[in-house]
Each structure stands twice: as C-alpha cells, then as structure tokens.
Chains A and B, each alone.
Chain A
Amino acid sequence: MVSQLEKHATSLNSNVARSSPVVVSEEAEALSHSETTMKLTPSFELFQLLEEFEGGKAPPSMSGNALRTPIQNGKDTLAGFDLSEYLKNPKLIEALPDPFKMVEKELQPFSDSIKELVSTDQPILSMAAKHFFEKRHGKRFRPTIVQLVAKAVAAATPDTGVPSGNVQWSGASTLAEAVTPENHQGSDVWRRQAQLGQIVEMIHVASLIHDDVLDEADTRRGGEAVHKLYSNKVAVLAGDYLLARASVLLARLENTAVVQIMATALESLVAGEIMQLKSPPETLLEMETYLRKSYYKTASLICYACRSTALLGGHVYDSAAATACEEFGFHLGLAYQIQDDILDFTAAASVLGKPALADMDLGLSTAPILYAAQETPSLRALVMRRFKKKGDKQAALEALYKSDTAMDKARALARFHAQRAIDALLRLPQSDSRDALIRLTHIVITRKK
C-alpha cells in the first residue's frame, strides 16, 4: 500500500510521466526492505523542486515529510523571515551571527580532513587547494553546516509521539541523557555529529577525486597518456581510501540508520555523475532533470547529512526536527548549485570579460541556459547535442545575453529554494546556531565568487 502511495506521488510530481533515470526501480525498492527496515524516499519526492507556476507541485504528505509543525520554545524574533527584504537591504543580515566564525574553533580538532594534510606555505598552491576542496569558497562548507545543524537541533526536545511507534527502526541514536543546548557542547553526541561532518567531507572529496578519473580516450589526447593513466590509479586508490575510512568512521557512530542514509548519499553521488555522463537528449531540456541531477550531485549529500545529524541528536527519523533538517539541507543544496551555475557565467566574466563556461564544455546545460532555451527555440537543438558543433557555445552564450529574463529566472529559482530552506529552519526553535544557518543561506545565494 505504501508503494502505491509513492507511485501516485511520483506521477503527481513529474510533468512528464518519466521515472527517475537512475534511482533503483520501485519494484526493487519494495522488495529490498521489510517491516524492520527503514525506507528512504529520494528527497525530491519529499520536498518541492519547482514553483507551481513552473509546473512544480507540493509533494503529498508521507513518511519523511509528514511532520512539519514548528517547534517553538518561546518567541522567535525571525518569524516570517522574508529573504527578499534581506536581499534588498544587505546590511540587515549582519544582525545575524556569522556561521563560519561560530564553529571555526570547534572544528579544528576534528581535522581528519584532507585540507590539513595538504596545508602548504605556497600561496598559489594553497589557493588551488582551497579551490580543489571548496570551489570559490575555501571554507569548510559541509562540516560547518553539520556542526550548526547539530547545535540547532539540540534546542529541540526529541519527539516522544512518533507516528510509527516502532523504536526498532526509528533511527534515533540512544542517548545516555537528553541533549540540551547547555550540555551539548563537548558531549558524546556533539563528538559524533562533528565526526559526521568529517565523514561528509571525506565522501565529498572522494567523489571529486573519482570524478577525475579519465577514460582512455581522454588520456590519449594531448600525448600525456602515461601520466594520465598513473593519475587514474592514484585517483582510484585515493578515493577508495577516503571512502573506506568514511565507512569505518560511519560504523563507529553506532547508528545503522545513519549508515544507511549516508550510504544512500554515496549512491546518489554516483547516480548524479552517471546521469551527467549519459542522459537521453530529450531529458536535457527539462528543468526537472537538471534539478534532479543537481540534487544527486550536490544537495543529496547535504540533506542526508542534516537528517543524520538530527538522528544522532536523538530525534527519530519522522520527527518534525529531523524533517526540518533534511528539508533545509535539500533546498540549501539546490540553491548552492544553482548559484554556482549562475556564477559560472557571471563571476569570471566580471574579471575577464569572458565567462568560464566549464559546464558547457562538458556538454551540460544549467539553469540560465535552460531558461534561455525555453525562450529561444533555436537553442534547444544545441542543448540536446551538448554543444558539440563548432560555434554552439558561442551561440548559446549570445542567446543568454540577449535574453532579458533567463538570468533573472535562474536567480529567482535560487531564491525560491533559499526561501524554502529558511522556512524549514524557522520550524526549529530560535537559537544562535539556527540564525547563523539563516545567514549562511543568505551567503550562499549572494556570494559573487
């Protein structure tokens, strides 16, 4: 009966009745779990991908997004936070705590992270390192999010009334004592959550490294075959080592639900990369395909990490707190990726006079181009053939610049997701860390590089 509900949800949710190209088939999912195991629905079936006027629909209530009641511990000074106000007047956001400064010190001891391994005095190399690990930002984006979410859910008392009532697979860690904002710092729970942040970083870097593996065809170009082949070996091994370490550390968190969720995150990363490599041409034009791919490649790791952080904090899978966390991570991840894709056209352009165009070189169409293609039909063929013909990229760029609306629509999409992320956060009780996360969301869509 549950899978029927999900089938219904899927058909409601897609403009075209096309199932996700990479997710394990519904039959397989139905067969692979039983009453005693948890079912993970992909987050884009739990939360909204597109605004209504673009064809999106609010997903129906189901396990994973059912409880959306605000958890209040008193007055919330940021209730009804409207992002557009803070975008019009950027000074306003500075009233909220700085997210990175807040957790900078406490993240230091947990450096299993690779950045410390490659810390170097060479400024150019360290800049390159920062880029390698965090495009354009250089700060520990993912561990910071996890740490702040950990603090934010500490302020929410774990739900006692759970829809399922079956504690065996509620997913919540068993805690020696209840977590409060006062006893959270330095506790075992806090330690595990910080460790999760490192695990997320490892998985992220491992996927970056594995994405780097080149096919033989590429290695023979440019006559650097031997070097690239060796590079492949190193890439495979280094990525495998990080994944193996992450698995062991994950096991030591002593929560099999979290292991399952993070393993599913890894699966999503792989799925996203493969989607990017091989997609049917017609799907390349659809905004939903692009958003799903962005979910798999970027948002999934973040939103699953957020849900897991709540579970480690003693909240059950279906609780209001855990749902708010995943919803926040989902929308933040998408906002981050969309902004990234916008910057791919605008950031380097403002320095160089010319955009970077990395995605287009890989044959990928991102939000700005897709919106331009909606407006300019001649662009669609170029998108579908992945800009393979000479002059395609130029033509696409010109169409984008000529369009009055394409870039604005992309920005609006990023803002939609950022606002939804903040709406989810507002369901958590007010705390410095929660407010810092709101500021983080603002940073994500206002950053210029």
Chain B
Amino acid sequence: MKSSAKRILAVSNRVNGRLLCRSRFNNVHRCGLLQQHRFLASSVGVSVPEGFKDTVKNTILDHALREDSRLWQSTGDDPLDDLDLEFETTRYWPSLPPGVEAIDPIAISSKEIVKLVESIRDDMLNTEHPVLQKAATYFFQSAADGGKKVRPMLVLLLSRALSDHITTTHQPVTSSSLLPTALEWQRPELPDLNRRLAEVTEIFHTASLLHDDVLDDADQRRNLPALHTQFGAKIAVLAGDFLLAKACVTLAKMGDLRTVEAMSTVLEHLVLGEVMQIRGPKADGQKSRLRVYLKKNFYKTASLMALSCKSVAFLGEYPDELIDVAYRFGKHAGMAFQLVDDALDYEGTAQHLGKPSMADLRSGLATAPVLFAAQEHTELIPMIDRKFKGSGDVERAIEIVFRSDGIERTKELAILHAERAMDALLELNPSPSRDALIQLAYRVVARTR
C-alpha cells in the first residue's frame, strides 16, 4: 500500500465516531486513493473525532463550575459559611444533652426500614429485564447488607418527631407504629408520602454510589464487589440512571412542588460535589482549602440529608420555624457523618468499613485529617497540591497525619456539628422519636465503622 494511503487509513482508524466502524479497515483498502479522500471528506461530516467528544464533555463540566459558580457561594438561602465552626467548643460530649432519653433509633425504625427495602426491591425497581433487575437491586437484596440506611431512618424518625412536637398526647412509639397519622391540616396519605420520601432518598443515594464507584474505579462497596466489576461500567452507569429516573417518577407522584424542587437540587449538589472533587476551584491558603473541602462535603453528603429532612417538613406542611429546624438538623448531621467517615478512613480497617481504607489519600484526596495536619506540618502542602502523586507521598502523609492532631481535630469538628444537629432538635418538644434522633446524631460520631 502506498504511504499516503497508509496515512489516510491511520487517520481514518483513529476517527472513531458513531458511524465509523473498525471493519472499515477491511473495506477501505480495497478502494482507490480518490475514493479514500472522498471517504475522509464525508467521514468528517458524519463522524466525531475522539478528542472532540472529550472536549465537549469537558466543556460541559467547565460550564458546571463556571456558570453556576453562585452555587459555591451560597445554596439558596444558606450561605454555607458556618461549616468550619471556628472558636466553638463541645458542650455535651461525651454525654447526651440533659433531659434526653437514650432511645435506640435502629430498634424503633427497623420494621419500617425492612419494609422500605422490600418496597424498593419488589415494587419500585421490579423490572422484567434480568440484567437491569440484578443491577438495580444490587444493594437492596436484604435490609441486612447494603449499608446502614441512615438516610431513610432520618426521614422516618423526623416525620414522627415533628408530629409529636405539635400534638400534646403522644401515641407510644413502637417499631410497628413509627409513622404518625396525619394531623387535621395535613394530607391524609402523609404516612405513605413519608415512606416514599424515604425511598427516594435512599435511591438517590444508591444511584450516586453506583456512579461514584465507576468514577473512582472502586473495587468494593459495602462488603460487596462494586457493581461495575460485575456488570461492566456501562450497565452500572445505566442502572444508576434508571434508579434516578424511577426515584424522580416517585417524587413527582408525591405531588409536592417544594419537595420536588428540593430533591432535584440535591441531584445538582451531588454532581457539583463530584466535579469539585475532581477539578475543584483553586484554593489558596489553608483556611480556604478547608472551607472548600467542607463545602464539597456539604454538596456530596450533607445536602441529601439536609434537603430530605427539609422535605419531611414540606410534606407535613409545617410552619417555617420547623422547616428550618429540619434543615439544620439534616445539614449538621450530614456534616458530622462525612467528617467521621473521613477520620475513619485513616483509623478504620477495610474489614470494618466495607470499603478500602486510606482510599482518599491514595486517590489524591485531601480530607480533614490531612488538612488539619497541614496547618502545623507545612511540608504536607506541596503533597496536597500534587494530589500525593509524588513517589512516597502517601506513606509520608500517613506518617505525618498520625504524628499530628489531624484526626482528633477532625473528630472534634464532627462532634461540634453533631451538637449543632442536636441543638436544632432540642427546639422540638420532647418525644421518644426526637430523642431517638438525638441518639442517632450521637452514634454518628461515636461509631467506629
């Protein structure tokens, strides 16, 4: 073959858009040179160079950061400027706040959670396609595996706590009768609405996990192999989309506009958090690095909890003060949750967590322990900036962090957030479900897994 023909073939083989196929090679070399030129000309009109596709996608991500940069500065009416809780000290830890009963949140919500998992698996996600079925219900096989189900627990317990705040005579809270019947101004189907909201929350969370695992190329999730290792990245992504779509349908069927808007905002926040993590804003200075990290934590974790708690208040048509209580509780509980997660990444082992430890560091992520440590050990800063890619960075960083007070300070910040969450709840009248939620916030920071 002539060298010019070879060159054309080389280019045409690299051009690998939707309409071009690898078998082109077999056909093209039989054409004359003139036809090959025509082929290339027409192929440019109908095919997409690989590099261009990436440009398009990267542009979309740039748009996410640029156009919506207002999202960094504030989220609606919450400027997110109270996340580092500087100058605060703990007040209750290690005890519960005074007057709070120690009620086990898991015990009183267990029946509803089991029902929730079954409802998701058997009703909402029941498709007749075997592959999609397996992929979609991967994390819903039983209530025992597949995560702690903290998020739906928050929704269900909060719905009861808000109701009991209003009523003077409390029905006893048992695991068979957790959800409150509707008060006279509320929609009669309120218990079902709360159940659906809890399902939507858990499904949004699971869908984001499916995608995140593809993004991180993770091997394990919740003591199971990551879905994409079993079914391939494409099915994992599609299953995540399917879960999202199903959840959105359920959300829409609930017919509450404020809830729909709040939960859609969660989706935006989840993506924004991921984008920030991957190509985040340039932070200069220690303080701003910490703030950016905390904001990213809000978007990635706390937002779902904050806005789903807020939605509980929307659905119950509670007054603004209670909506604010719900939001603050969810937000600070979520921040505490993620901070403890970040601390456990250093302290826990793979067995305890169900996911690999030191994962953050190894993927170049600087979380609270290392950010706090860097305030004293400035040699960490260049390592942070190059995402621990230098040879020996990860080992050195681990060693420095354990020498420093980074992990303790992370835990302390977590406790401060948990106490803020408790303070929000303490604005509610006492009730078993309120105390169960306070206990839950407590356990979030007391846990070792």
Contacts and interface: CB of A to CB of B under 8 A. Distances in A.
Contact count band on A? 35 or more
Most buried by A among B54, B189, B260: B260
Interface in A157-174: 168-169
Interface string A247-258: 110111010110
Tell me the interface secondary structure of chain A in the complex. Answer: helix
Contacts of B57: 209, 231, 234-235, 237-238
A212 interface: yes
B33 interface: no
Given A248-B265, A256-B255, A213 B271 contact: no
B255 A216 contact: no
A128 B123 CA distance: 43
Contacts of B59: 114, 117-118
B253 A260 contact: yes
B69 interface: no
B61 interface: yes
A128 B52 contact: yes
A302 interface: no
A240 B19 CA distance: 25
Interface string B180-195: 0000000001000000
Interface string B107-139: 000000000000000111011110110000000
B260 A251 contact: yes
A43 interface: no
Nearest to B238: A270
A277 interface: yes
B287 interface: no
Contacts of B126: 24-25, 27-28
A217 interface: yes
A67 interface: no
Contacts of B246: 24, 263, 267
B92 to A, nearest CB: 37
B238 A136 contact: no
Contacts of A237: 57, 61, 215, 271, 274-275, 278
Contact count band on B? 35 or more
B226 to A, nearest CB: 12
A247 B271 CA distance: 12
A342 B310 CA distance: 52
A38 B250 CA distance: 11
Contacts of B5: none
A278 interface: yes
A19 B128 contact: yes
B56 A21 contact: no
Contacts of B42: 348, 351-352
Contacts of A136: 46
Given A128-B49, A129-B52, A352-B35, A259 B252 contact: yes
Contact of A132 (B53, B129, B242): B53
B249 A215 contact: no
B257 interface: yes
Contacts of B376: none
A402 interface: no
Contacts of A234: 54, 57-58, 61
Interface in A272-291: 273-275, 277-278
A233 interface: yes
B56 A267 contact: no
Nearest to A202: B60
A214 B54 contact: no
Given A23-B127, A244-B270, A351-B42, A358 B21 contact: yes
B241 A28 contact: no
Contacts of A33: 253
Contact of B264 (A216, A251, A351): A251
B82 interface: no
A21 B123 CA distance: 16
Contacts of A356: 19-21, 46
B253 A38 contact: yes
Contacts of A214: 233-234
B44 interface: yes
A89 interface: no
Contact of A215 (B39, B233, B252): B233
Contacts of B106: none
A302 B44 CA distance: 28
A250 B21 CA distance: 37
Given A267-B246, A351-B42, A213 B48 contact: no
Contacts of A132: 48, 52-53, 56
A273 B238 contact: yes
A21 B129 CA distance: 5
B21 A241 contact: no
B56 A216 contact: no
A403 interface: no
Interface string A1-30: 000000000000000000111111101100
B232 A216 contact: yes
A135 B45 CA distance: 10
B398 interface: no
A365 interface: no
Contact of A250 (B18, B44, B214, B264): B264
B232 A114 contact: no
Given A37-B253, A117-B59, A244-B268, A352 B241 contact: no
A129 B56 contact: yes
Given A236-B215, A270-B238, A263 B245 contact: yes
B234 A213 contact: yes
A271 interface: yes
A204 to B, nearest CB: 13
B97 interface: no
A25 B128 contact: yes
Contact of B38 (A128, A242, A351): A351
Contacts of A348: 19, 42, 46
A68 interface: no
A258 to B, nearest CB: 8
B274 A28 contact: no
Given A241-B61, A354-B27, 15 more contacts: A19-B128, A22-B128, A114-B63, A118-B59, A131-B17, A213-B233, A216-B232, A233-B278, A256-B253, A256-B255, A256-B257, A259-B251, A274-B131, A274-B132, A352-B38
16 contacts: A19-B128, A25-B126, A28-B123, A28-B126, A37-B253, A217-B232, A237-B271, A238-B57, A241-B64, A241-B271, A243-B267, A256-B256, A257-B252, A270-B245, A352-B42, A361-B21
Interface of A: 19-25, 27-28, 31-34, 36-38, 114, 117-118, 124-125, 127-129, 131-132, 135-136, 168-169, 207, 209-210, 212-217, 229, 231-245, 247-248, 250-252, 254, 256-257, 259-260, 263-264, 266-267, 269-271, 273-275, 277-278, 344, 348, 351-354, 356-358, 361, 393
Interface of B: 17-23, 27, 31, 35, 38-39, 42, 44-50, 52-61, 63-64, 122-124, 126-129, 131-132, 189, 211, 214-215, 217, 232-235, 237-238, 241-242, 244-246, 248-257, 260-261, 264-265, 267-268, 270-271, 274-275, 278
